[in-house]
Structure formats: structure tokens, C-alpha cells
Structure 1
């Protein structure tokens, strides 16, 4: 496997509190281009999910996940529900261009099954941006592990896209990092 696709321990997300994950990545683009990959549907669709996003706090929108389109790799049997695009109701909680985007994940961060994804961008000169992603409100160890592996795989695709590389096989990478999170996130 390509060296840049290996799982490095320092790249694993951290559990900062029960049900809260934090990821840090250095993106090889300026802050405005990094922001565009968070909010513009056609760019976001290449690493996470498409779908038009609201522009004001409180705006509801649908994220459209098409995991097969990320790298051309079909979902394995255990993820067969993701072989076709999946829609997820979400809501903008905060939006401060180009530094902060907070989303209610699965519609209502305070409702059943809901959580919150917080993206913080900090310019590191003109050509790099620090991304801090915090996902909170996760319920239990199993959900925390699953979400950690999912974000890790999606962020890997984002880095490939921003570096101009062919994206790594999404599902194969997810399986590899899931094993790492299984071992590192315990009760």
C-alpha cells in the first residue's frame, strides 16, 4: 500500500471526553480553499457528502453521502446500506466564514441520535490551513469508534483530493482504521 495511505498513530483522532472526538489535519491549501471544501456542495461531494448547505444558523439541509463515488470502491457487504446514496438531515448551527462551521449532525444535535460536528480552520501562512474537527454528542463506545473511523477515512480522502492524488479506496481504508480505533477506544 502507498506510504501516504498507512495509518499513523499520530493521525488517529482523540477522545477528549466521553462521546467527543477531535481530529487535527494540516491541509495543503489556503484557508479560503479549505473553507470552500466544507461548504460548496460540488467540492464537499468529492470527500464527504454533496447537497446544498444552508448559509445561516438554523438553516436545515440534506447531506447526500455517495461513498462509492469517493474512490470508485463499492461498499462491502456489512455496509451494503451505503451502496446507494444516503441522505442525512442536518442543520447549520454556526457559520463564520472562513473560520468556523458547526453542524447539527443527523438533524438535531439535541434530539435522538443527533450529534454535533464542529470544523475550525486556522490559516498557516498562505498555502496551508489547520483543520480541527470536533464531533460531540456521540452515544457510547461503539458509536464513537464508528464515527472515528468514518471521519478518519473521509479526512484521508480530503487530503488526497487537496494534494491532487487519486483518492485512496474509501472502504478499504475505513476497515483498516476501524481496527485501530477498535483497539484505541475502550470503555
Structure 2
């Protein structure tokens, strides 16, 4: 049991268990995807989880698949939780699921496109002020460090930002997460969040997936869908031909 508590004491190891809970049977490469850590560090964390019997592995050809083993967690629950607090905790758990369902019910927009370019070039196109101005009509301005502010500024010389937010996560050429709101906008549930996930497919193609979450309602979802479809189509044309569409779709 000591090994279990030691394994659970680290936030990265808990995140790995969460990812296996969401999608069991992942390879090391899949588990590393989206984590700003080296493969060696992730391997060490997985070794501690295996030693605590929280993760089991099996081979599929040359791949090693990792599976969440819930038995030690169940033993903790039975020993210290269930027999003392079962009725009250079940009620709280039901309330938590209801609240999470209400939050997840908010509309989100997801768009995936395939671009003939390298991940570095797509990343540059998303974060470079000059390139974003060329195909987006606005300049994305930030130092792109987690916690830093970012602005979506007009290119008419006014310096006005139509969208502002914070950089939540930035892994160059892999993943960018930003909050998204109009300046001074009052959003009781907080700003929406935009995630850019870049996945290389071979040497010359990138799968770019954009997820816009925490949208207020269906009207805002329709607005996001129209805007992102136009912007990402123009981005793809710009990177593949060297120039944006002659008539931007949002004109």
C-alpha cells in the first residue's frame, strides 16, 4: 500500500492514470502526446505506477500497451471510505456527476484539417503576428509563454484588439491552448477556450485540430463554426500556396 500512496502523490502520475481511465491500452508514444516531458521521464513515472500495481502492460507486436489497474484503488476505497461514508458519498458523487454533465452540455466546436506543411511551419503560422495578419486579417501578439497574455489585434494601425486572453499551454509545434474573449466581456462561466493540436502525418502533412470549448449557447456555436471554418481554410491555402485566398470567406 505504501507504493500506491507514493505513486499517487505525484501530479504527473495521476494525470497518466486519468488518461488511461479515459482511453485504456495506450502506447508510450500516445501517453507522451501532449505532455511537455521527455519519453525517459514518462517511462520512469510509468515504472513507479507498474511497481505499485496501478498500471499493467501487455505486448502487441513491437508495441507495449499500458492499462489502468483499478484494484489497488478499490482496496483503498473499501478500507477507508466505503464502510464509513458510503451513503453520504454516494449522494455527493451523484451531485458531482450532475454538475459535470451540466458543464459538459455546453456546446463546443471541433474542426480538423490536413495541411501540407511541417509542424514548425503551422506553429509559426498560428503565432507569428505577420503571418496571422496575412491570412487572418488580425495579428496574434504574445510571447506565447504559459500564463502570458495574448491579443488578436486589428491590422489597420489602430492597435485595437478584438479578442484577448491568456496562454494556458504552449508546446511548440505540438499544442497551444488559449482563453478567448472580447475585451471587457462579462462571461459568468469564464472565457471560452481554444485548443490547437498539431499531429505530423509523415514528413510533409500536419493534422490540425481546433477545439473551441465553453461556448455560451448555440448562437455562439454557429458564430464560432463559421469563423473557424473560414480562417482555417485560409490558413491551409496560405501555407500550401504562399498566399491567402483571393477573397477571404468572411468578407
TM over 0.5: yes
Query: In angstroms, what is the RMSD of aligned CA positions?
Result: 2.5
Residue of structure 2 aligned with 1:115, choices 192, 198, 208: 192
Displaced runs of 4+ in structure 1, greater than 3 A? none
Considering Cα pairs closer than 8 Å and 6+ residues apart, tell me whether 1 or 2 has the greater RCO: 1
Taking the aligned partners of 2:231 and 2:121, their CA distance within structure 1 comes to 17
Does 2:117 match 1:34?
Answer: no
Residue by residue over 1:79-124, the C-alpha shift from the partner in whole angstroms, topping out at 9 and shown as x without a partner, is: xxxxx8751222101001110000101179xx61620000000111
1:74 matched to which residue of 2? none
- Determine if contact 1:19/1:140 at 8 Å carries over to the other structure: yes
The alignment's TM-score, normalised by the length of structure 2, stands at 0.50
1:169 matched to which residue of 2? 247
Q: Decide whether aligned partners of structure 1 residues 156 and 85 sit closer, same or farther in structure 2, where only a CA change above 3 A counts.
A: farther
Does 2:240 match 1:152?
Answer: no
Deviation at 1:55, TM superposition (A): 2.4
Q: Decide whether aligned partners of structure 1 residues 58 and 107 sit closer, same or farther in structure 2, where only a CA change above 3 A counts.
A: farther
Q: Decide whether aligned partners of structure 1 residues 25 and 65 sit closer, same or farther in structure 2, where only a CA change above 3 A counts.
A: farther
- Determine if contact 2:175/2:196 at 8 Å carries over to the other structure: yes
The alignment's TM-score, normalised by the length of structure 1, stands at 0.66
Does 2:138 match 1:63?
Answer: no
Bigger radius of gyration among the two: 2
Structure 1 gap segments, 5+ residues each: 1-15, 70-83, 176-187
Does 2:124 match 1:46?
Answer: no
